[in-house]
């Protein structure tokens, strides 16, 4: 099956959306240069990504706190377990890598959880930006710390505006 892509302008820079026409396999920021280079061999089809584009646009405008998309990230069973747990972190909230490790039943695996978190091919939708250091520091985000800071501030702002709606 042909690999498809679309580009989306966002407040954190242009995003490269990838998938197969039925599901989304990646959301890549400009810091993911290898994915951007590979996109040269793929077929652009903005229409196929209309729902993804709309939901991300709603997220960035503060109208959406969760996503309803068919996802197809490629990863190991452990990575998928971590990524599923990421989706359980409420909008506008953060947890530590250690807490995420406890939530998946492997409390001594904080480093492995950090590596799986860093391999997440669907940032924003699978909210790896909501995981922070045990001391509250912003650590490890493939899109860069400034983008992570922006995403967390964005969610904090909108979760306060909407109150219990997103809680």
8: CB partners within 8 A, 6+ apart: 14, 15, 17, 49, 53, 56, 57
16, 71, 128, 131: the active-site residue: 128
d(CA 42, CA 92): 35
CA distance 114 to 96: 10
Active site residue 128: yes
Tell me the CA end-to-end span of the chain in Å, nearest whole number: 39
Q: Which residues are tagged catalytic?
A: 128
């Amino acid at each position: 099956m042909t690999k498809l892509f679309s580009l989306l302008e966002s407040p954190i820079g242009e995003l490269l959306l990838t998938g197969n026409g039925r599901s989304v396999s990646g959301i890549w920021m400009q810091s993911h240069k290898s994915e951007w280079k590979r996109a040269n061999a793929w077929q652009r089809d903005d229409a196929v990504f209309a729902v993804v584009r709309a939901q991300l646009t709603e997220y960035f405008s503060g109208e959406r706190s969760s996503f309803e998309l068919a996802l197809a990230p490629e990863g190991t069973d452990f990575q998928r377990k971590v990524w599923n747990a990421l989706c359980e972190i409420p909008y506008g909230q953060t947890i530590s890598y250690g807490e995420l490790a406890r939530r998946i039943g492997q409390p001594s695996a904080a480093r492995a959880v950090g590596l799986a978190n860093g391999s997440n091919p669907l940032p924003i939708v699978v909210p790896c930006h909501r995981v922070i250091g045990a001391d509250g520091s912003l650590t490890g985000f493939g899109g860069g710390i400034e983008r992570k800071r922006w995403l967390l501030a964005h969610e904090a702002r909108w979760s306060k505006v909407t109150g219990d709606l997103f809680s």
